[in-house]
Structure 1
Amino acid sequence: MAISTPTYHPLHFSPTITTRRIHLHTIPFAPRKALLTTCARRTGKRRYPSEKKKLEKIKKELLKTEIRNREEGYWRLSKLSVPAHKDPGKDFIGVSLPLLEAIAKVLKFPVAPMLPEEAFTVVRKSFDARKVLKEPAFVYTVDMDVKKLLHLEPRTWDFISYLEPKLGFVEYREDENAPTDLVDILDKGKVKIDGSNPFNGFTYSEKRPRVAVVGSGPSGLFAALVLGEIGADVTLIERGQPVEQRGRDIGALVVRKILSSESNFCFGEGGAGTWSDGKLVTRIGRNSDSVQAVLKTLVQFGAPPNILVDGKPHLGTDKLVPLLRNFRHYLLDLGVDIKFNTRLDNLVVENGQVKGVVVSNAKNEPGCNSDQEKLLFDAVVLAVGHSARDVYSMLLQHNIEMVPKNFAVGLRIEHPQELINSIQYSELANEVQGGRGRIPVADYKVAKYVGGDEFNTESSFESGVENRSCYSFCMCPGGQVVLTSTNPSELCINGMSFSRRASKWANSALVVTVSSDEFDSFRSHGPLAGVEFQREFERRAAEMGGGNFVVPAQRVTDFLAETLSDTSLPASSYRLGVKASRLHNLFPAHITKALQYSIEMFDKELPGFITTDALLHGVETRTSSPVQISRQADTCESTSLKGLYPIGEGAGYAGGIVSAAVDGMFCGFALAKELSLYRGDVELVLRKAQKQTGFVKY
């Protein structure tokens, strides 16, 4: 095999270039070098034996990779650092000259401006402002198309021909294998009218099986999308309102303190994540096919393309509302019947199998039989959120197998955003400019493991479990504290923000893990003991606030000193009012001590975290579902009731927008297979969430 390539000295470009024919087998390739073994989780420390063994295995596999044709394929270049003062800024996701300089350094190519931008694609961009660095920098991951690069700039051959894989920095694959959005994946897999089927997985049935999807959060929406595309007759049941009316109901709550029990910050189209920060970070594999399919589907429905590249992608409520509207219209065009303002009251069960659901108008009080309606289905997908406590109680009456699950409770702390910017960025804080600058609005993520020696556990809720984790949760830079209560007698809060994160406050939950061993006082509630544990402290918070949705609050300095200052509280973003309260008396002593100890440790990581301007709000209890509804691993079907498919965050199988969407997507395929709408393996269409697209997870 021969190619035409220019001849030149590798460190000097001559204006007169001649070409000659060379054979690839005559090129003196450099021998493979030993790969650098690194460990991101324990940088600078001794690695665990299991981590070292795993990295050595990856290293050996990488060394065995044979690059058969160096004229084609793709190289992934990771950890390309561009100083912050040289980069165009957080909103730019193209290829800039400073980035080309970083790429040229890896390739050892002497003239960076000669590298064609078209040959490179930015895969990921994040901002690194750690104090250990010489200066803050944007860190890139870039894919290099070898064929396009050689076509546009043949003189790069002498450099990329010697390029060798280096674990975590330089990796090679023969094809791009870029995952696409879910709609496109399903369209390609549909059976044609003439019976041809390129994926050999989907089937066609004259009789469309009827499926109810209860809940229009991420898991419910993606399950409905898959099932509707494949050919099921889908009915989407949502107790709340569409986003347009839901926004008006939330406005009535914030302005006039009128709480709609079925249309609020928790219930309604899109689920609880709609009026939140809209975070799209996930721990199930950002680079996996399924996660990429979810993100690209969101872009298809109106999300900004930046979420595919941002190191910490988020949407914000202002972006989620139109996205959900587009999602709804697409489902309607598919033939999905959407029933808003419809509450699930009961299941229709015959001979140990679900045959349908009993629903009623959500505007009426629960238990009102006059407007109840029985709807029959072949299967019911239960995609409710973890605030649907009435659904848990109904499932318990049917003896559905549920088990208590660990979760976390705590308080939400709020600082001036300028303070967090200053702590994280120092002199670079001025570049933030309220979310409109070149530098992203500063956030933080802190965690501390607290052992039993740091505090005692003398309290009426003594659990015997002394060791626990304390960490920040759902940090909302440039956001506000909002009410997530669904009952006027209970008080709980969360954080939210808009896409620009332009608010002058930064808030985050500071929570402590609690386990089922700590629910002794609520054992009479069986598997719902954790739910009652949550409600107990939500009622206490409501009493502390004095009612009318006023939130109990305390300066962080007073919380640590266990006192209450005479001075007025600092300003809060919470719009329904705050009341100075002794939050150190809200939780059992062991939880309070764990929070106090952790806050002191967080201040060592973030000097200035403890300040009189920092305000704690109570109470944060709904961090995740307190129960898990048992289901089969391969089919997602309930272990105790046939035809019931519990999915998403409310069922205890997800923790955020993306992971919930992935769970709903896989359940959709699994159920389609059970209904004989799909006869192949789910992984033929979409691989497991943890399976990579070919490159090491970044």
Structure 2
Amino acid sequence: MIRITELRLPISHAPEALEEAILKRLNLSPQDLVRAEVFKRSYDARKNVALAFIYTVDLSVKNEELILKQFSNDIHVRPSPDTSYHFVANAAQVNTQVASDHFQRPVVIGFGPCGIFAALILAQMGLKPIILERGKAVRERTQDTWGLWRKNVLNPESNVQFGEGGAGTFSDGKLYSQIKDSKFYGRKVIHEFIRAGAPEEIRYVAKPHIGTFRLVGVVEKMRKEIIELGGEVRFSQKVTGFDIENEQIQGVRIEGHPDLKANHVIIALGHSARDTFHALHDAGVYMEAKPFSVGFRIEHPQSLIDKARLGPHAGNALIGAADYKLVYHAKNGRSVYSFCMCPGGTVVAAASEPNRVVTNGMSQYSRNERNANAGIVVGITPEDYPGGPLAGIEFQRMLESKAYEMGGSTYEAPGQLVGDFLAGRPSTEFGSVIPSYKPGVHLTDLVDSLPLYAIEAIREAIPAFEKQIKGFSLKDAVLTGVETRTSSPLRITRGANCQSLNIKGLYPAGEGAGYAGGILSAGVDGIKVAEAVALDYLAN
């Protein structure tokens, strides 16, 4: 096939215009074009520039070699790379292993994006994984999550962090990442989401997203396929310990259930399974503290962000709600940046432990809520929380407990208007921006909610961001605290074979292990680790 890049068309072009542009670009007649598939579509919405879509298109044409030769000097006409997924093993290859008397099925701990894709790939290769998820199935879990948002009641085992689909289910369903993906694992992730009911457009739009509630049905269908292929998903099964002998995993201990023997265990915990991190540490599994970030959620009117980012194109339905990505380096050496920006979304309660407050952001597929929100967070390192690999967890807990107290000890979150935050005075009433966080926002002075270096850096960054997005320092914009779960505070280090550095058969994976950040990268890492498990089965 042939790939054409940088093919520009007006934003309101007719459906047939793309094919016409392809034919014109390559000097082809209609009968020469066999098939065209959009690989990527982005848009150019710079001010004073005609609004345009920019396409990358893969083509099947007659006389392909001749056409490539004619355009050999054109960097925008090249052979299409092979972006299809290729299994490292298949059911026929592993059948001997599965049928043997000593075969132990692979175990996947955690059923978020990483665990789902690890289990799915294992199942598609015929290895019939057993998945242990401490939370509930996604629809039951959604009801429990609403219990916190509407009734101030937290279920520590079924919430935004724990349950089928992982933390990504209550986000934006964002499927873009900056990871290097030379094997096109990301395309496999996208392909499987579409097969499970996600919109076809996520295959080609520049910043694909599924939306929170659409993910519910998608996740259920993926679970169904895993089960149909011989896998098993066990909900409400919390792993409390690990059986290790001679530096080899032998099995896992499950609260209220018999021990489960296994010599291949994928740890796909997510970044908030703090008790399981402690159990791994107690078992002697090597891990180390890593940098992460802390800060607040900031809310603006979405219309303000649209106007600042899209100018005269604001409100165009073909583009949708505008997003942003901001970075600032403060004078005290701290990096401040926007995190998990949710256009037309809401700020959500994301606590997983009693008497603590954590914020996150989410959007539906439509992205049509009144406010835009994003984390405005400050990078921190293990030097800021000395004490070993688990010290970052205690640092998070300290901030989350303080936020709970500052919010009135009711799971309301402490908040402050941006104008008051910059002026260093408490807020007493909301202005034009009404915060979306449920159970509610308790206005106060956020100065004591984060370390002073973080407060100083954010105070410096907000006016700097104003230079990039007019209105960002809007005095009525609302800051809600605290955002602490930006990434895992530790890394369960692994080798080139994806196994723990000191425990054979243990495969740290995904965001909780420090190898991903978001749905797409977590899914990709799940695929990589599943392949490593399959190859180890074949080697033994």
Q: Name the residue aligned to 1:68.
A: none
Residues 204 and 231 in structure 1, CA contact (< 8 A), matched pair in contact too: no
Q: Residues of 2 paired with 1:673 and 1:103: CA distance?
A: 43
Match of 1:337 among 221, 229, 232: 232
Structure 1 unpaired stretches of 5+: 1-73, 89-94, 151-156, 192-200, 361-370, 432-436, 455-465, 680-698
Q: Does 1:399 align with 2:284?
A: yes
Residues 421 and 446 in structure 2, CA contact (< 8 A), matched pair in contact too: yes
Q: Residues of 1 paired with 2:132 and 2:108: CA distance?
A: 6
Match of 1:170 among 63, 77, 88: 77
Secondary structure at the aligned position of 2:129 is classed as: strand
Q: Does 1:414 align with 2:321?
A: no
How has the CA–CA distance of structure 1 residues 256 and 398 changed in structure 2, closer, same or farther, with 3 Å as cutoff?
same
Q: Name the residue aligned to 2:528.
A: 666
Q: Name the residue aligned to 2:96.
A: 204
Q: Residues of 1 paired with 2:35 and 2:246: CA distance?
A: 61
Q: Residues of 2 paired with 1:624 and 1:565: CA distance?
A: 30
Q: Deviations over 1:651-698 (max 9, x none)?
A: 11111111111111111111122222x68xxxxxxxxxxxxxxxxxxx
Q: Name the residue aligned to 1:153.
A: none
Residues 286 and 292 in structure 1, CA contact (< 8 A), matched pair in contact too: no
Q: How do 1:156-195 and structure 2 match up within 5 A?
A: 162-167=70-75, 169-172=76-79, 177-180=82-85, 185=87, 189-191=90-92
How has the CA–CA distance of structure 1 residues 612 and 405 changed in structure 2, closer, same or farther, with 3 Å as cutoff?
same
Residues 209 and 675 in structure 1, CA contact (< 8 A), matched pair in contact too: no
How has the CA–CA distance of structure 1 residues 666 and 568 changed in structure 2, closer, same or farther, with 3 Å as cutoff?
closer
Q: Does 1:224 align with 2:119?
A: yes
Q: Name the residue aligned to 1:504.
A: 370
Q: Residues of 1 paired with 2:494 and 2:206: CA distance?
A: 33
Q: Deviations over 1:311-333 (max 9, x none)?
A: 00111112211111111111111
Q: Residues of 1 paired with 2:7 and 2:250: CA distance?
A: 56
Residues 276 and 316 in structure 1, CA contact (< 8 A), matched pair in contact too: yes
Q: How do 1:51-70 and structure 2 match up within 5 A?
A: none
Q: Does 1:580 align with 2:507?
A: no
Residue 644 (structure 1) shift: 1.4
Structure whose alpha-carbon radius of gyration is higher: 1
Q: Name the residue aligned to 2:511.
A: 649
Q: How do 1:132-531 and structure 2 match up within 5 A?
A: 134-147=49-62, 162-167=70-75, 169-172=76-79, 177-180=82-85, 185=87, 189-191=90-92, 204-205=96-97, 206-207=99-100, 208-285=103-180, 288-360=183-255, 371-431=256-316, 437-450=317-330, 454=331, 466-520=332-386, 523=387, 526-531=388-393
Q: Residues of 1 paired with 2:129 and 2:532: CA distance?
A: 15
Q: Residues of 2 paired with 1:586 and 1:649: CA distance?
A: 25
Residue 498 (structure 1) shift: 1.0
Residues 428 and 443 in structure 2, CA contact (< 8 A), matched pair in contact too: no
Q: TM-score, normalised by structure 2?
A: 0.93
Secondary structure at the aligned position of 1:269 is classed as: coil
Q: Name the residue aligned to 1:76.
A: 3
Aligned amino acid, residue 82 of structure 1 = L
How has the CA–CA distance of structure 1 residues 601 and 136 changed in structure 2, closer, same or farther, with 3 Å as cutoff?
farther
Residue 113 (structure 1) shift: 9.5
Q: Name the residue aligned to 1:49.
A: none
Q: Residues of 2 paired with 1:609 and 1:130: CA distance?
A: 19
How has the CA–CA distance of structure 1 residues 618 and 177 changed in structure 2, closer, same or farther, with 3 Å as cutoff?
same
Secondary structure at the aligned position of 1:527 is classed as: coil
Match of 2:489 among 618, 626, 631: 626
Match of 1:87 among 5, 13, 30: 13
Q: Residues of 1 paired with 2:415 and 2:479: CA distance?
A: 5
Secondary structure at the aligned position of 1:210 is classed as: coil
Match of 1:120 among 28, 31, 36: 36
How has the CA–CA distance of structure 1 residues 160 and 331 changed in structure 2, closer, same or farther, with 3 Å as cutoff?
closer
Residue 393 (structure 1) shift: 1.0
How has the CA–CA distance of structure 1 residues 148 and 119 changed in structure 2, closer, same or farther, with 3 Å as cutoff?
farther
Structure 2 unpaired stretches of 5+: none
Q: Residues of 2 paired with 1:161 and 1:358: CA distance?
A: 62
Residue 105 (structure 1) shift: 6.1
Residue 141 (structure 1) shift: 0.9
Residue 287 (structure 1) shift: 7.1
Q: Residues of 2 paired with 1:542 and 1:124: CA distance?
A: 44
Residues 165 and 172 in structure 1, CA contact (< 8 A), matched pair in contact too: no
Secondary structure at the aligned position of 1:141 is classed as: strand
Q: Percent identity?
A: 39
Secondary structure at the aligned position of 1:579 is classed as: strand
Q: Deviations over 1:183-218 (max 9, x none)?
A: xx58x9432xxxxxxxxx656332243222110011
Aligned amino acid, residue 166 of structure 1 = D
How has the CA–CA distance of structure 1 residues 102 and 592 changed in structure 2, closer, same or farther, with 3 Å as cutoff?
farther
Secondary structure at the aligned position of 1:250 is classed as: helix
Residues 302 and 343 in structure 2, CA contact (< 8 A), matched pair in contact too: yes
Q: Residues of 2 paired with 1:239 and 1:646: CA distance?
A: 17
Residues 91 and 126 in structure 2, CA contact (< 8 A), matched pair in contact too: no
Secondary structure at the aligned position of 2:8 is classed as: strand
How has the CA–CA distance of structure 1 residues 565 and 648 changed in structure 2, closer, same or farther, with 3 Å as cutoff?
closer
Residue 480 (structure 1) shift: 0.5
Q: Residues of 2 paired with 1:468 and 1:79: CA distance?
A: 37
Residues 109 and 133 in structure 2, CA contact (< 8 A), matched pair in contact too: yes
Residue 172 (structure 1) shift: 3.0
Q: Residues of 2 paired with 1:438 and 1:637: CA distance?
A: 45
Residue 609 (structure 1) shift: 1.1
Q: Deviations over 1:588-617 (max 9, x none)?
A: 222111111111111101111111331111
Q: Residues of 2 paired with 1:120 and 1:211: CA distance?
A: 41
Q: Residues of 2 paired with 1:480 and 1:613: CA distance?
A: 17
Residues 34 and 61 in structure 2, CA contact (< 8 A), matched pair in contact too: no
Query: Relative contact order: is structure 1 or structure 2 higher (C-alpha 8 Å, sep ≥ 6)?
Result: 2
Residue 285 (structure 1) shift: 3.6
Q: Deviations over 1:255-301 (max 9, x none)?
A: 21211111111100011001110100011246742111121111122
How has the CA–CA distance of structure 1 residues 177 and 643 changed in structure 2, closer, same or farther, with 3 Å as cutoff?
closer
Residue 346 (structure 1) shift: 0.7
Secondary structure at the aligned position of 2:147 is classed as: helix
Residue 339 (structure 1) shift: 1.0
Residues 165 and 171 in structure 1, CA contact (< 8 A), matched pair in contact too: no
Q: Residues of 1 paired with 2:161 and 2:73: CA distance?
A: 48
